[in-house]
Amino acid sequence: MTDEDSRYEAVRSRDARFDGVFFFAVETTGIYCRPSCPAVTPKRAHVRFFPTAAAAQGAGFRACRRCRPDAVPGSAEWNVRADAVGRAMRLI
């Protein structure tokens, strides 16, 4: 099993432990994501891997609007779902 095969397995399983370790881009859509992105898993033949979000952007890919891979880890933009839940709990 190659390194790219193990990365694809992390993408397929949506493993959040690899968020920030690498990013993947889908050549057919022109979008790059975090490994834990909830979007439909692309076919392996269409996936490219990058060490950073900047490298993916430099290759001409744009950030996914679902997982926000261009956001800073720990910020509200990084984990939108947790931020929304936290705001709802404070309002209650």
Give catalytic residue positions: 33
**Backbone phi and psi for residue 49, each to the nearest 5 degrees, phi listed first:** -110, 145
**Backbone phi and psi for residue 34, each to the nearest 5 degrees, phi listed first:** -85, 160
Q: Which residues contact 41 (CB under 8 A, 6 or more apart)?
A: 11, 12, 14
